[in-house]
Amino acid sequence: MSTNVSVKPESNGLGAEKFERFSSWNSLILAVMCLQRLVNMCKTRTNSQLDNWSHSDAVQEAELLVLKELQQERFLKDIKFLSEKRQLSKDNGIAHLAPFLDENGLLV
């Protein structure tokens, strides 16, 4: 008797497939903002850092997190190459766009 077991590599990310459950970009960002705030509350166990919470900063952080997750899912190998200061091969589909990583680690 044999059993086939399929093991997926463990991901530390949010899992971009879950993003499809949201009806709009704004609802996704709001949900991510709430999760980030909850995580920060649990980590600090104090509201001192949350007193300085800025809505616009929270929106930017949530958007950055979502964009990074989406890029990691689609362009993981390219991001790894660029983070190691290596050039993409000429036959790479995005090489002609001259991509680079910005100061936030986003593929631009």
Q: What is the pLDDT of residues 83-96, one digit of tens each?
A: 999 989 889 999 99
Q: Domain count of the chain?
A: 1
The answer to whether 55 touches 71, Cβ cutoff 8 Å, is no
| Residue 80, in any domain of the structure | no
Q: Is residue 100 part of a domain?
A: no
> Domain for residue 55, yes or no?
yes
pTM over 0.75: no
Does residue 6 belong to any structural domain of this protein? no
Lowest mean pLDDT among 1-5, 90-94, 98-102: 1-5
Domain of 35?
A: 16-75
Pairwise CA distance, residues 46 & 66, whole Å: 26
